[in-house]
Amino acid sequence: MLPTIDLGFVEISLYGPIFMIGAVIAIILIRRLAPSTGVDKWDAVYAVIYGLIGLLIGAKLLYLITRLPAIVVRFDAFVELIKKDFTAAINFSLGGMVFYGGLIGFALGVIRYCRHFRIPVWGPVDLYTPFLPLVHGFGRIGCFFAGCCYGIEYDGPLSVRFPYNKFVSKLDEVPRFPVQLLEAGLNFICFAVLITLMRKELKRDGSERKLKQGQLCGIYLTYYLVIRTALEFLRGDEIRGKIGFLSTSQIISILLIIPAVILLRAKNREKVFYVPETTSELTKTQV
Amino acid sequence: MKNFSGLSLALGIVGIVLSTVFGILFGFIPALIGLGCGVAALVLAINTKKATNNEQGTGGFVCGIFAVVLGSIFFIGCLACGSIIKDLTGGNYGAYGIVGGSCNAVDDARDAVLDTYGDVSEEDVRAFNDAMKELADAFKDFE
Q: What single string gives the DSSP state of each residue in A200-264?
A: HHHHS-GGG---BTTHHHHHHHHHHHHHHHHHGGGB--GGG-EETTEEHHHHHHHHTHHHHHHHH
B46–chain A nearest CA distance, Å = 7
This model of the complex carries an ipTM of 0.75
Alpha-carbon span B6 to B57, nearest angstrom:
8
Kind and range of the H or E element at A266? Answer: none
Domain that holds residue A191: 7-285
Q: Looking at the predicted structure, is the pLDDT value of residue B135 above 80?
A: no
Q: Looking at the predicted structure, is the pLDDT value of residue A7 above 70?
A: no
Tell me whether residue A1 is in a domain: no
Per domain, the residue ranges of chain B are: 5-142
Binary contact (A87, B83; C-beta < 8 A): yes
Q: What percent of chain A has pLDDT over 70?
A: 87
What does each C-alpha distance from B87 to A1, A55, B53 come to in angstroms? 20, 30, 52
Kindly report the number of other CB atoms within 10 A of residue A218's CB atom.
20
Whether residue A209 contacts residue A270, with contact meaning beta carbons closer than 8 Å, is answered with no
pLDDT in tens, A210-256: 888 889 999 999 999 999 999 988 888 766 667 777 888 888 888 88
B71–chain A nearest CA distance, Å = 12
Nearest to A87 among B39, B77, B95 (CB): B95
pLDDT attached to residue A284: 46
Chain A interface, mutation test: which of B4, B48, B50, B102, most A Cβ atoms within 10 Å?
A: B50
Alpha helices in chain B (DSSP H): 5-17, 23-26, 28-51, 58-89, 97-100, 102-117, 122-142
Number of domains making up chain A: 1
A112–chain B nearest CA distance, Å = 12
Full-model pTM: 0.78
pLDDT in tens, A161-202: 877 666 666 677 778 888 999 999 999 999 999 999 999 988
pLDDT band at residue A110 under the 50/70/90 scheme = very high
Binary contact (B76, A85; C-beta < 8 A): no
Nearest to A164 among B28, B94, B126 (CB): B126
Tell me whether residue A2 is in a domain: no
Nearest to B73 among A16, A85, A87 (CB): A16
pLDDT in tens, B1-20: 578 899 999 999 999 999 88
Tell me whether residue A87 is in a domain: yes
